[in-house]
Structure 1
Amino acid sequence: MSTVGKAVALLEHFTLKEPEIGLSELARKAGLDKATARRLLMALAEHRLIEQEPQSRRYRLGAGLSRLARMRDAHLPFVRVAAPMVRDLALETGETVHLCEFSAGALLTVHVELSARANRVNVDVGQVLPLHGTASGIAFLAFSRPETVEAYFGKPLAAFTPHTMTTRDKVMTAVQLAATRGYSRSAQGYEEGVHSIAAPILGSDGFPLGTLAVASPVSRVDDTTADRQGQAARQASARISTHLTGEQWHASVPLRQR
């Protein structure tokens, strides 16, 4: 791995559950010796991408990342545009709704509205979702360019639960169904006990930028509920697509047939 890759890998170990990490633990997580980890952290700190808490001496993400995020949002306002409609969908369904953006061959969770119910699905901002094991991923593949789909199948499909689809034929059957009805459905493919419905958010070229998903405890969803959530997700994703692109996307019919 290149020096840049190692430095970026250090950043990716910080999460909402673990926002501060000590040097030894961070080096262990990244598979680096302490001297190398310290050198990389010092370089990141020079650009304000990492900072050290004065008392604990633990590391955390720096304000420089916020500056870069603001610059990106000003140019590509994905979360800012979508957030109100994500919130509306969460209120309408009573379930957790999360927004993902496609990046580096996977879906990155960029915004979450948690259900107000005590028994709910928890999703973290920053969580990376595979394309074959989630409703979000299936919805994304269903409306992607053929070359994007082919590139994804160029690597093994990992099993996350006993229910994960790990063969191309099974995944493509789900992809084709999602393309026909405009939303995807997955039960326990990525996390046991979780049922998800997802719809694509399209860019101006008609291909997906990301996805919008409703996540529920599997015990709370039957076919009628799933269809209701699917129609609501389609309508919300079409509104987001329209706001982002200025194009009029209609949720009343499938966005693309494959």
Structure 2
Amino acid sequence: MSTIDKAMAVLSAFTIDTPELGVTEISRALDLNKVVVHRLLRELEANGMIEQDPDSKRYRLGYEVLKLATRKLSSANLLRTAIPHLDALREETGESVHLSIKRGEAILRLYIVQTRHFLRYSADVGDESPIHCTAAGKILLAYSNPDTWRELIARSIARFGERVPTDIDALCDELESLRSGKVAVDDEVFQSHLRAFACPVFDSHGRVTAAVSCGGISERVPRKRFPAMIAAIENSCATISRELGLCKPD
């Protein structure tokens, strides 16, 4: 059993019926040496996953476990709230709709509803794409810490390859404009013959938690369609954000 397996076993030993345990109890339950259990508990405690009662000296789960669970529930709530509106956005525009979150120098697709058209950009849930040259990526990057922009752009280019020449100064200027509420546009940059638009989704604290992008083959998305598609995406994101608890003054 690896160290990670042993640590997970220790965490799993705490239940609703046994919220607090001592070293001996954990050692017996897991058939592990008490010295090993004590070392694992100390390491888990140092990382906030376990805490020790100062009086009883028994251990219980720490607040870091709660924080991780809260993040998981937040993602589930995001999907549960967003999916009906993403499906409706596909019906309104006729084009593919993606829900993505930021993961380092990449975007991770949480949900995709594909266009009914035969010609489409192929992508799957769980796929990652560059953060610096996709519409959703630029939105998520724009609302991250500006001090990290250049580093993340460089890492994105290094990981995915530079699809087109990237003027980092110009991109940073674009990111500044996106923070003021503008819609991100990918006009055949990430993929030739693909046009996409993206807007942010805000949580109840006013933080950007995801990006919704919508786009399709450039022949189906001529420039005269831009205003209608942008308006549809903005309305969809505003509705999702409200349902997630965002309150904005009139």
Normalising by structure 2, we get a TM-score of 0.63
- Please state how far the C-alpha of 1:190 moved relative to its aligned partner: 1.8
> What amino acid maps onto 2:132 in structure 1?
H
3-state DSSP of counterpart to 2:199: strand
Unpaired runs of 5+ residues, structure 2, are 5-68
- Please state how far the C-alpha of 1:136 moved relative to its aligned partner: 0.5
Query: 1:176 matched to which residue of 2?
Result: 176
RMSD: 2.9
Q: Do the aligned partners of residues 242 and 179 (structure 1) sit closer, same or farther apart at CA in structure 2, a change above 3 Å counting?
A: same
Query: 1:218 matched to which residue of 2?
Result: 218
Query: 1:192 matched to which residue of 2?
Result: 192
Encode CA deviations 1:122-167: one digit per residue, 9 max, x unaligned.
Answer: 22111112211100011222333324435424536357575x3523
3-state DSSP of counterpart to 2:109: strand
Q: Comparing 135-144 with 91-100, which one deviates more in the overlay?
A: 135-144
Does the CA contact (< 8 Å) of 1:99 and 1:109 recur in 2?
yes
Query: 1:89 matched to which residue of 2?
Result: 89
1:119-198 to 2 correspondences below 5 Å: 119-153=119-153, 155=155, 157-158=157-158, 162=163, 164=164, 166-198=166-198
| Alpha-carbon distance between aligned partners in 2 of 1:217 and 1:160, rounded to the nearest angstrom | 22
Query: 1:247 matched to which residue of 2?
Result: 246
Does the CA contact (< 8 Å) of 2:105 and 2:156 recur in 1?
no
**Bigger Cα Rg:** 2
| Alpha-carbon distance between aligned partners in 1 of 2:156 and 2:105, rounded to the nearest angstrom | 13
| Alpha-carbon distance between aligned partners in 1 of 2:140 and 2:98, rounded to the nearest angstrom | 14
Unpaired runs of 5+ residues, structure 1, are 5-69, 253-258
| Count of aligned positions | 183
Does the CA contact (< 8 Å) of 1:239 and 1:249 recur in 2?
no
Does the CA contact (< 8 Å) of 2:132 and 2:153 recur in 1?
no
1:25-44 to 2 correspondences below 5 Å: none
| Alpha-carbon distance between aligned partners in 1 of 2:74 and 2:114, rounded to the nearest angstrom | 27
Does the CA contact (< 8 Å) of 1:160 and 1:189 recur in 2?
no
Query: 2:60 matched to which residue of 1?
Result: none
Query: 1:109 matched to which residue of 2?
Result: 109
